[in-house]
Amino acid sequence: MTLKINDSGTWKEPTKVSVKDGGAWKEVLTASVKDDGSWKPFYQKKYTYTVSSNVNKLDLDTVLTSDQKLGDVDVVINSGVYVYSDSTSTPALLTGNGVAGVLTIINNGYIYGAGGAGGSGGAASANGSSGGSGGTALKLEKNITLDNNGSILGGGGGGGGGGGSTDDQSFSDRDYAGGGGGGGGQSFGSGGLRNAECSGSGCVRQSGNGGAGTLTSAGGGGIGAIAGGSRGTTTAGSGGSGGSVGNNGSSGQSGQSGDGLGSGGSGGSAGTAIDNNGFTRTGD
């Protein structure tokens, strides 16, 4: 049973209903009628909040007014729209706990947690650092209904940093090569820093920083340094690539040649898609 009013010949559901109480108009949140001895609801206040453009870190308690949160609320994320986070410490979408009625999230777009940072490259003979874990996409702070027609994914894990290497060349100086930085995970994970050590008989190739992740792609790992000369070279490991959303980052390479080889750092884990946080969700 629903309430409709005739507006210029067309029956429409009202967006707001008020009654006069003691000389003052007051908004009705819910209304029922007695039908064959039983009270049956025919009106429930509802507000629809539409997300029509990309938004970084959406907190429903912040964007909804106190009046809008009095009844039921539908949050509609339009097709092609991204709700994302660029910080692994903050979920892309927080439900808040202020909606008094039923909170329904209708996702026709993308909800992406933040990407993890790439690990740093190792110094000569030292291990590369591990990539960082991705962030959470959706965190519940109250019970919700979810209608997911799009994609909800945790941020991609960061790539591990490459291991460094050294080699004691005969009749020559010891050669040192630093590892490359790991790539950042998709959804704005930062790229890992290279280790700039490259010395000895000569620096054949400098190491490279890892690439940063963007909203739609993960960053690639930076190359490892190569040091040496005519009597031989030592090669450090390259950083691993960052993971796409919902996927772990790749491990960095270990040092490739020499008598002192550092191990590549492990790739970071993908973030959590939906953190129920002790609450329940119905639907998808």
> What pLDDT tens digit does each residue of the chain (284 aa) get?
566 677 788 877 666 676 677 777 766 666 666 777 787 666 677 899 999 999 999 999 999 999 899 899 999 999 999 999 999 999 999 999 999 999 999 999 999 999 999 999 999 999 999 999 999 999 999 999 999 999 999 999 999 999 999 998 766 678 999 999 999 999 999 999 999 999 988 899 999 999 999 999 999 999 999 998 777 889 999 999 999 999 999 999 999 988 899 999 999 999 999 999 999 999 87
CB 116 within 8 A of CB 159: no
Q: Strand pairing of 110-112 and 151-153?
A: parallel
Is residue 33 in some structural domain?
yes
List, in order, residues 6 or more apart from 8 with CB less than 8 Å away: none
In a domain, 244, yes or no: no
Q: Which residues 6+ apart lie within 8 Å of 22 measured at CB? A: none
Specify whether the CB–CB gap between 118 and 183 falls below 8 A.
yes
7 occurs within a structural domain: yes
Residue 16 is which amino acid?
K
- What is the radius of gyration, based on Cα positions, of the chain? 28
CA distances in angstroms from 63 to 45, 55, 90, 110, listed in the order given: 18, 11, 16, 19
- The residue type of 191 is G
Tell whether 14 is covered by a domain. Answer: yes
Q: How many angstroms separate the CA atoms of 267 and 32, rounded?
A: 57
In 3D space, the residue among 195, 242, 192, 173 whose CA is nearest the CA of residue 214 turns out to be 242
DSSP-derived 3-state class of residue 49? strand
pLDDT of residue 198: 95
User: Domain for residue 190, yes or no?
Assistant: no
Give me the domain span that covers residue 13: 1-44
Burial 96-115 (b: 16+ CB within 10 A, else e): bebbebbbbbbbbbbbbbbb
In a domain, 19, yes or no: yes
Measured distance CA(137)–CA(113) in Å, rounded: 4
Predicted pLDDT of residue 172: 64
Does 275 map to a domain? no
Rounded CA-CA distance 70/99 in Å is 6
Indicate yes or no: pTM above 0.85: yes
What ranges in 33-174 are assigned the alpha helix state H?
A: 60-63
Residue type, 22: G
DSSP 8-state assignment for residue 68: T
Beta-carbon count within 10 A of 44 CB: 17
Total structural domains within the chain: 1
28 assigned to some structural domain: yes
What tens digit of pLDDT does each residue of 15-29 get? 667 667 777 776 666
